[in-house]
Structure 1
Amino acid sequence: MNKNRLVTVTLTALAPMSWGSTYYVTTQFLPADRPLFTGMMRALPAGLALLALTRRLPRGEWWWKAVVLGALNIGAFFPLLFLSAYRLPGGMAAVIGSVGPLWVAGLAALFLGEKPTLRTLLTGIAAALGVSLVVLKAAGAFDTIGVVAALGSSASMSAGTVFTKRWGRPEGTGPLVMTGWQLTAGGLLIAPIAFFVEGAPPALDGRNIAGYVYLALVNTAVAYWLWFRGIGRMTATSVTFLGPLSPLTAAVIGWAALGQALAPVQLLGMAIAFGATLAGQAAPKPLRAATAPGTREPAAPEAPEIPAAPKKPSGLAKSL
């Protein structure tokens, strides 16, 4: 792995690592039983702040593309994720969500021309196994709605990753602008659902406000900017293999800050999932100079980015 690619992978990895802190912040700083309001507060203020900073709105076809990407990456992903976290027993939702690399491998083959290899499939299975060992608790009652929601959240984020790569960006538009568009669109989609399901916003104290500021700025605005930046420079499959870092980070924070014990089987799972993450970053065979279908960016992962030319959430909430 050359130096430029190493820097890109490292910076992109900071996004899922930041998302791994969501469980701690949610349970220690935020009002209980308001998952949809929290999802809206993560997305909408951050998106509006980025719009004010960049002062650029979509044009032409990018109005509907921004809405589609915002719905896939934020607007549908957050509610489905929380729904599955509340309806499934501890950790099961995170396990189902960990099949994301396999979703992306299939979608990338269809829309990006990134043919999955046997190594990719085996690495995806290993990542899911590792996450399972880390977060899966004793099995509970099977809940069809919860399982469908977990699969839907994983498929939504995976599709968002692939189509973000496929459509690229408008000429002269950087990842910060794209992040603002998607967060705003996603937040606006969540807002009416949050008010309909949960009612009026709760009263907030200083601790709550500090938690929401962290989620909106660090956990969402910066993290999603790094994520979308990474999608522009890496293959979609390589990016999604960084996802297991989120539940792994949550487990480490739970151990360090909340005194949650890590059993030997969990340590083994962390080693397997981390190894799969590293294996997923192995540079694929060099691709020809042609771009991936429908993109404006080279498909090679090391291609440089073109500049301006609540109820306590269960296991899956740890991987938000």
Structure 2
Amino acid sequence: MKSQAVVGMALCAAAQLMLGASMATTRLLLDYPVFSGQAIRYAIAAVLFLAVICVSGTLGGNGRRTSTPNASLSRAEWAWLAGLSATGLAGYNACLVLALGHADAAVVSTIVGAVPLLVAILVPAIRRKAPSVRLLAAAGIVVAGSTLVHGTGQASALGLIASVGALLGDVAFALIAARLLPRIGPVRLSAYSCVLAVPMLATAALVAGEPASWRLPSLTEWLVLAYLGVALTGVGFWCWFRGIQLATVERGSLTVGLVPLAAVITMTVQDHAAPPVAQMGGIGVVIVGLIVGMSAPLADSLQAHPSRRAFKDTSKAWESDAAGITWPILPAAKPLPSSLAGQARHPRAAADDGVPSADAAAAPVR
């Protein structure tokens, strides 16, 4: 694997390790309304990202500062962004909360843990290519290891449906991000998705009847929400988006298997209790899967790497995204008048990861 892909895998791994380690922290939010807390968490992250954009200037798709305004997006691109926030953030968490109310956390985590396998199948299918045998095998190994870590449990039909919904939301989060990264880069993608997620989660809070129990967070809850907004969402989202931009979404998704590893280690330290042998064995299997995935030749997973080129030909207008998928190029947005260009650079700011029971803390809430 080339050094650029190694760096990308490391960034994706860092994001997933932070997510897993945060699960012990989220137990401190069990008494706070779930969707309200998530809205606060994403609002904090949105402010952070928008501040970074204001300080550093316009960031292009390669993550570097550019002298040309690149903030004017087409309607289609805004639709993709809204879809990412609706499915990968608000929808994912709504399905997860519903699933945890009708299924054991082990079942939910096992189903959602199938993200690497589904991505390994879908990306080549969208590309109209045969899947990489090695990446497919690696994804299967990672999913098997995650299942060993989570264990088994019971679930109702509604719990299974909601779990699959969370799985699809997580996959959409990765694939849509790969679609947008070459155009707007990891910082702006993180900022816009967080901004759009806030009103969606606020609406979910209203539908769930949370206003009746709404209150200001306690000092401890504020500290946890700030940590989740700054570290998990702020740093974690950038690491994840930049990682799949460098390593491709297929390889990056393999690191989802590290979430239970970090969760088990963190909770072991916090609870002063050794994990079961089966969990340790599952962690070992996940690591084997990651090694297999990292050893896959670069040509197995993409046709044209976005950090090297976004190509066009004269007969068909196509571009390559961070998944190695080729899509029709979206029409360019019209340049803004000079009086509005400055505002376009700094768009307006629009998970708590609280869960309904102590067992549910084992489930990955983004």
CA distance in 1, matches of 2:260, 2:43: 24
Q: Please name the residue that 2:114 is paired with.
A: 99
1:87 counterpart = 2:132: no
SS in 1 for 2:294: coil
Q: How many correspondences in the alignment?
A: 307
Q: 1:214 aligns with which of 220, 227, 239?
A: 227
Q: 1:281 aligns with which of 262, 270, 294?
A: 294
Closer/same/farther in 2, CA of residues 108 and 9 from structure 1, 3 Å limit: same
Contact 2:109 2:364 in 1 (8 A): yes
Contact 1:175 1:228 in 2 (8 A): yes
Closer/same/farther in 2, CA of residues 72 and 294 from structure 1, 3 Å limit: farther
Closer/same/farther in 2, CA of residues 213 and 295 from structure 1, 3 Å limit: farther
Closer/same/farther in 2, CA of residues 94 and 288 from structure 1, 3 Å limit: closer
Q: Which runs of 5+ in 1 are unaligned?
A: 302-309
Q: Deviations over 1:23-56 (max 9, x none)?
A: 21111x3252522223222323212331243147
Q: Please name the residue that 2:171 is paired with.
A: 158
Identical pairs, percent: 21
Q: Please name the residue that 2:135 is paired with.
A: 120
Instruction: Tell me by how many angstroms 1:243 deviates.
Output: 0.3
CA distance in 2, matches of 1:221, 1:295: 28
The range that moved more, 73-82 or 249-258, is 73-82
Q: Please name the residue that 2:44 is paired with.
A: 45
CA distance in 1, matches of 2:286, 2:91: 26
Closer/same/farther in 2, CA of residues 294 and 151 from structure 1, 3 Å limit: farther
Superposed, which structure 2 residues align to 1:166-205 within 5 Å? 166-170=179-183, 173-200=184-211, 201-205=214-218
Closer/same/farther in 2, CA of residues 299 and 205 from structure 1, 3 Å limit: closer
CA distance in 2, matches of 1:294, 1:104: 21
Q: Please name the residue that 2:19 is paired with.
A: 19
1:243 counterpart = 2:256: yes
Contact 1:73 1:186 in 2 (8 A): no
CA distance in 2, matches of 1:71, 1:251: 29
The two structures, once aligned, show a CA RMSD in angstroms of 2.6
Closer/same/farther in 2, CA of residues 123 and 5 from structure 1, 3 Å limit: closer
CA distance in 1, matches of 2:124, 2:303: 16
CA distance in 2, matches of 1:316, 1:102: 24
Closer/same/farther in 2, CA of residues 58 and 91 from structure 1, 3 Å limit: farther
The range that moved more, 112-121 or 234-243, is 112-121
Closer/same/farther in 2, CA of residues 47 and 68 from structure 1, 3 Å limit: same
Q: Please name the residue that 2:73 is paired with.
A: 59
Contact 1:21 1:318 in 2 (8 A): no
CA distance in 2, matches of 1:203, 1:298: 40
Closer/same/farther in 2, CA of residues 87 and 22 from structure 1, 3 Å limit: farther
Instruction: Tell me by how many angstroms 1:299 deviates.
Output: 6.0
Q: Please name the residue that 1:35 is paired with.
A: 34
Contact 1:81 1:317 in 2 (8 A): no
- Structure 1 or 2, whichever has the larger Rg, is 2
**Code of the aligned partner of 1:312:** S
Q: Deviations over 1:134-163 (max 9, x none)?
A: 1225x33x3111111111111112122122
Closer/same/farther in 2, CA of residues 271 and 33 from structure 1, 3 Å limit: same
Structure-1-length-normalised TM-score = 0.86
Q: Which runs of 5+ in 2 are unaligned?
A: 59-70, 312-316, 326-354
